[in-house]
Structure 1
Amino acid sequence: MKKLYMKVISSFICLIIMISPIITAKAQAEELNINAMYAIALDSKSKVVLYNKNAYMLVPMASTTKIMTALVALKYGDLDKKIEISSKSAGIHGSTVGYKKNEQITLKELIFGLMLRSGNDAAIAIAEGIGGDVEGFAKLMNEYSAQIGLCNTHFQSPHGLDSDEHYTSAYDLALVTAKAREIPLFNEIVQSKDVDKKTYGFTRDYHNINKILWQLPNASGVKTGFTGKAGKCLVTSVNIKGNDVIIVVLNSSDRWNVTKKINDYVQKKYEYKKLFSKGDIVSEITICDKSSEKVRLYTDEDIILPVRSDASYHVQIVKPKSVIKGGIKKDDKLGSLCVLKDNEAIYTISLKAKDSCKSHKFIKNIY
């Protein structure tokens, strides 16, 4: 029996707390008719899905690929490094900036050319400058995509021209964009409408071809795309009630208006509610020994989620039924908080121990 105390038991104690207001009857999901094959709206911070149409299907992504290209370049590259434009870069077809062979362009300028002009030549130059060649850079892209949790994505190029082994899903593309949005320089680049070369010491001026920046007042980027297989694509970041929302629209002949329609839908249907503040004690566990020692559980960040008035939400606290050998140390991850919408999990975060405890005994089953 003593050995049993030292093990982690896989069963859980679940505490259900109602979030007000609660609508007892489940509301039927309202259909939003859009002219797009695939689409999603994702809250950037919580990763809660606000709208979904075929968002998990594998599809071509065209130049929205360049969001990941920029992300990898910002992670691994030296922004001041000058990269020589190769014949392969200068000769690539499709959308280009117009870089000439043997030009020396800084990585920072190439990223501006990549995102504002959708330059395939910039994409090749970045790949060669960081990865040695396109294949080496694609390997970096795939490795990093796995690190940030993409499950349905594979990159074969930095530009996104059609190829059989180059695909993503609207959901994965939204996750990539949310990750990129954590970088201030990325945001500065994608929200720029026009860039004067004198401002950054660039070789040329840049005008952003992303029309959504002019058409949607709360938009702050991000990237257009088009190929024969992918159709017209658009990834947009929008400010909704002070929160960052990513809208992805793929294979849509009316991508600008579809994006606006989804933006309006989210604005109308969702409010943001603060459930807990950073440092709040969310629950506690009681150790079943002579001392009946208690360990408090807290969240180390604010929990602010988008919620609908016509849906039912619950908070579920998941606690282990035994303590790991060695006891509990302050700030150890211990259990989790899960938010359910109409009995479907939409958000999970780890909880931490506010107190230390050396006991190995079972935790008392208190609800």
Structure 2
Amino acid sequence: MRNYFKIISVTLIIFLLSSNVALANPSKANNKLVIDARAAIAMDKETGVVLYEKNSRELIPMASTTKIMTSLIAINNGNIDEKVTISKKSAAIHGSTVGYKEGEEITIRELLYGLMFKSGNDAAVAIAEGVGGSIEGFLKLMNEYALQIGLRDTHFETPHGLDSENHYTTAYDLALLTTKAKNNEIFNEIVGSKVIDPEKYNFTRGYNNINKLLYQVPEATGVKTGYTGNAGKCLVSSFDVNGHEIVVVTLNCIERWRESKKIFEYVKDHYNYETIAQENQVIDKITLEDNKGEIELLCKENIVIPKKADSKYEVEVVKAENNLPKVISKDMILGHLSIKQDDKVICKVNLYSNTDNNRENLIDKIKNKISSSRK
């Protein structure tokens, strides 16, 4: 990796990324992407950087793309090899179904394939009842987790996505949810597969994935279709771009397959990935008062960002130099990298102390001991 970290000032910009970086197809750098969808977005899976967006913060129904959250909650909260008995409510649900019969016993793992391959509303109800104890209990888990991961404009009223007044999301939130889900190995195995034979996990039946992009685009890696009268045709998809994964969302999009593929090709043609920092790299340091030493600031992960040819990038080191605690422990957050594209922050990464440091004097120690004894 090239050494970009030449310090210019204590807390401000540490480098500018050059504007003459070669792109995969620089002749297309000024092309404007026009997408025929009510809302759409492309997001880098690792950094959350937005690569394209159209009305991505608009509240909108999301149909069966809801099932991305349903599957993730089931994986995170249930024993997926536990069997669930199909209830009358599950067997009677309308819309797209697998065709489970009341009284059948199906593992949650198999229900997940029915959910994500066949968009089974019966699978969604069975999962909700099996994992949450009831649909209402499962919805509580869905909405709590949505807030936990930062989905600020999302609310779930069903586990399947059939039209309901207060069931909505945004393209941005749906992409963010999917980046979280794609970090789960079980989820990835399911949504990236085309066919599952019953023998593999001792299922009651085999399943074929209805996601056409898996068959049409070699770089496609998932994720979920959706359709209702209010939501229109929806699609969340993911693609491999030179070893890096992106998530694409198109909502209320008649030509969802074509438009999602168009967004993928736009990203592939207009972005290159470049390493900004490496795992365990020392980025900067803080000099302590009264010659009490220095604290190195460590980046704990590989930072690789997608870069566009006609944009200007800069990275700023922000350090917590004022009001530092007198006792600094290793791995304490003492700053962050702020990555900007055209003066807009697109990514922040925490920086950590690389060592312990104790600058307490005797009086400080006595005060702290007295304070602790009073608690």
- TM value normalised by structure 1: 0.91
Aligned to 1:125: 126
1:243-262 matches, cutoff 5 A: 243-262=244-263
How far 1:29 moved relative to its partner?
7.4
Decide whether the 8 Å contact of 2:224 with 2:235 is kept in 1: yes
Is 1:240 the equivalent of 2:241?
Answer: yes
Instruction: Judge which range, 195-204 or 340-349, deviates more.
Output: 195-204
In the TM superposition, what whole-angstrom CA distance separates every residue of 1:125-159 from its partner, at most 9, and x where no partner exists? 00011112111111110011111111110001100
1-structure distance, mates of 2:331, 2:135? 43
Q: CA RMSD in A?
A: 1.8
Q: 1:344 to 1:360 in 2, by over 3 A?
A: farther
Decide whether the 8 Å contact of 2:17 with 2:314 is kept in 1: no
1-structure distance, mates of 2:321, 2:188? 44
Amino acid at match of 1:14: T
Identity %: 49
Aligned to 2:67: 66
1:104-119 matches, cutoff 5 A: 104-119=105-120
Is 1:358 the equivalent of 2:358?
Answer: yes
Aligned to 1:302: 302
2-structure distance, mates of 1:132, 1:327? 47
2-structure distance, mates of 1:155, 1:360? 50
Paired positions, count: 346
Decide whether the 8 Å contact of 1:13 with 1:321 is kept in 2: no
1-structure distance, mates of 2:72, 2:328? 38
Segments of 5+ residues of structure 1 without an aligned counterpart are: 1-11, 362-367
1-structure distance, mates of 2:59, 2:149? 18
Amino acid at match of 2:359: S
1:279-358 matches, cutoff 5 A: 279-289=280-290, 291=291, 293-358=293-358
Decide whether the 8 Å contact of 1:89 with 1:121 is kept in 2: yes
Aligned to 1:3: none
Which among 15, 19, 27 is matched to residue 16 of structure 2?
A: 19
Aligned to 1:168: 169
Decide whether the 8 Å contact of 1:62 with 1:161 is kept in 2: yes
Amino acid at match of 1:343: D
2-structure distance, mates of 1:360, 1:316? 31
2-structure distance, mates of 1:360, 1:333? 19
1:168-207 matches, cutoff 5 A: 168-207=169-208
Aligned to 2:54: 53
Decide whether the 8 Å contact of 2:317 with 2:337 is kept in 1: yes
2-structure distance, mates of 1:329, 1:77? 37
1:80-91 matches, cutoff 5 A: 80-91=81-92
Instruction: Judge which range, 333-342 or 12-21, deviates more.
Output: 12-21
3-state secondary structure, aligned to 2:327: coil
- TM value normalised by structure 2: 0.89
Decide whether the 8 Å contact of 1:152 with 1:172 is kept in 2: yes
2-structure distance, mates of 1:190, 1:294? 48
Segments of 5+ residues of structure 2 without an aligned counterpart are: 1-8, 21-28, 362-375
1-structure distance, mates of 2:130, 2:272? 44
How far 1:205 moved relative to its partner?
1.1
Amino acid at match of 1:15: L
